[in-house]
């Protein structure tokens, strides 16, 4: 029985079973999909989480796939005038920002890719440089996170409302404004990681910490760095030994990878928890801002939302984590390390956020391609 369940747990998902094997609690045995992005379950989840009709959900998925393919071409066409890009759900097109000084040739080239053009004040290069300067500042707890917002053509710094008047926060904002164009917004609450204490029957543990598996790689799986340090042993839902954490980084980054052995193996699947059919993983093409995205985790299972921002710095109590992607997807303790996926493309592993899946919230993930590059890993794909 352990081996059969192991295949699902290590799946490159974020596997986890609430009280043991799905069959042990009367749940239907998970099934494999054909890999088609617009499965009935995915469409149902998008209808539920976005308030769409089935036809609207199908149209959005198709438009997002096109936008993802267009983004790299549009970026090249804009050249030095590139100011960022995002998917516009209303128009169903990718919007590309270009600086006011862009040549007519560059603008026409961007439009020829099928993207909509918007004029902005600052280039992406200028904004990224400003954010890098802010990254070097010591952030107080009252500063939640900061990121480049292509729409606003500025670096947005989020501050916890109750601490806006704090002297350390004011000092940080003053230094941030000196680093480049800054817009201040209010954060609902401070971000927290989503690890959890031991809960009987759940799938992967490091000591007394429960987290969720992210994606299968050849030889193991990736997850969140705050779930454990290099060398720590990892056990599965049944407490049987899986392997050891081979590399881990947190804070600064939030990723880790675990080798797999002892009767466990990897498969390129993200669990759908009965909400949708299990998802086959076919690649890791990065979805643009504005795209729909879904998350799978051991506590709250399957939820969907929107990509809100990229290359964001999140200021946890343990320290800042860089190059994160923010989403409107909810999560709760125990979901850490779990899979973020768009269609059949792996996006990243769950790090932390604020709120919950009853009242809503926001969640950040560490992009998968950075993790693969850092450790020289190869994503296990179908």
Distance CA 173, CA 140 (A): 10
Residue located via tokens 């516009």 = 88
Those residues with Cβ within 8 angstroms of residue 161's Cβ, 6 or more apart along the chain or in another chain: 186, 187, 188
Catalytic residue from among 336, 339, 342, 351: 336
Give the 3-state secondary structure of the chain. Answer: CHHHHHHHHCCCCCCCCCCCCHHHHCCCCCCECCCCCCCHHHHHHHHHHHCCCHHHHHHHHHHHHHHHHHHHHHHHHHHHHEEEEEEECCCCEEEEEEECCCCHHHHHHHHHCCCEEEEECCCHHHHHHHHHHHHCCCCCCCEEEEEEECCCCEEEEEEEHHHCCCHHHHHHHHHHHHHCCEEEEEECCCCEECCEECCCCCCEEECCEEECCCEEECCEEEECHHHCCCCCEEECCCCCEEEEEEEEECCECCEEEEECCCCCCCCCEECCECCECEEECCECCCCCCCCEEEEEECCCEEEEEEEEEEEEEEEECCEEEEEEEEECCCCCCCCCCCEEEECCEEEEEEEEEEEECCCEEEEEEEEHHHHHHHHCCCECCC
Q: Which of 202, 254, 278, 344 is catalytic?
A: 254
CA distance 27 to 5: 13
Instruction: Give the separation between CA 302 and CA 70, rounded to whole angstroms.
Output: 28
Angle at 366 between CA 156 and CA 326, to 5 degrees: 35
Write down the catalytic residue from 39, 85, 123, 226: 226
Is 336 among the catalytic positions? Answer: yes
First to last CA, the chain: 24
Catalytic residue numbers?
226, 254, 336
């Amino acid at each position: 029985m352990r081996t059969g369940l192991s295949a699902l747990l290590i799946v490159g998902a974020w596997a986890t079973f609430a009280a043991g094997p799905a069959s042990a609690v009367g749940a239907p045995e998970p099934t494999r999909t054909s890999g088609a992005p617009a499965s009935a379950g995915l469409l149902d989840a998008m209808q539920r989480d976005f308030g769409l009709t089935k036809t609207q959900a199908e149209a959005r998925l198709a438009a997002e796939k096109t936008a993802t393919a267009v983004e790299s071409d549009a970026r090249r066409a804009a050249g030095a005038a590139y100011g960022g890009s995002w998917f516009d759900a209303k128009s169903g097109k990718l919007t590309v920002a270009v600086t006011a000084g862009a040549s007519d040739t560059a603008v026409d080239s961007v439009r020829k890719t099928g993207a909509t053009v918007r004029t902005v004040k600052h280039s992406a290069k200028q904004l990224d440089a400003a954010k890098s300067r802010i990254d070097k500042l010591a952030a107080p707890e009252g500063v939640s996170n900061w990121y480049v917002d292509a729409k606003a053509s500025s670096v947005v710094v989020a501050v916890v409302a109750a601490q806006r008047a704090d002297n350390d926060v004011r000092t940080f904002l003053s230094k941030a404004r000196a680093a480049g164009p800054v817009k201040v917004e209010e954060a609902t609450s401070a971000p927290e990681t989503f690890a959890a204490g031991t809960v009987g029957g759940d799938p992967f543990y490091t000591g007394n910490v429960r987290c969720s598996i992210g994606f299968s790689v050849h030889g193991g799986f990736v997850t969140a760095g705050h779930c454990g340090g290099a060398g720590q042993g990892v056990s599965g839902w049944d407490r049987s030994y899986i392997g050891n954490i081979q590399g881990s980084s947190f804070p600064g980054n939030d990723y880790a990878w675990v080798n797999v052995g002892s009767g466990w193996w990897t498969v390129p699947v993200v669990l759908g928890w009965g909400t949708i059919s299990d998802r086959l993983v076919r690649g890791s093409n990065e979805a643009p801002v504005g795209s729909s995205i879904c998350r799978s985790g051991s506590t709250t299972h399957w939820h969907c939302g929107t990509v809100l921002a990229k290359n964001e710095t999140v200021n946890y109590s343990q320290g800042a984590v860089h190059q994160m992607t923010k989403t409107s997807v909810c999560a709760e303790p125990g979901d850490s390390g779990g899979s973020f996926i768009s269609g059949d493309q792996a996006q990243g592993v769950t790090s932390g956020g604020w709120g919950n899946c009853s009242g809503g919230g926001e969640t950040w993930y560490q992009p998968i391609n950075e993790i693969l590059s850092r450790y020289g890993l190869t994503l296990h794909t179908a």
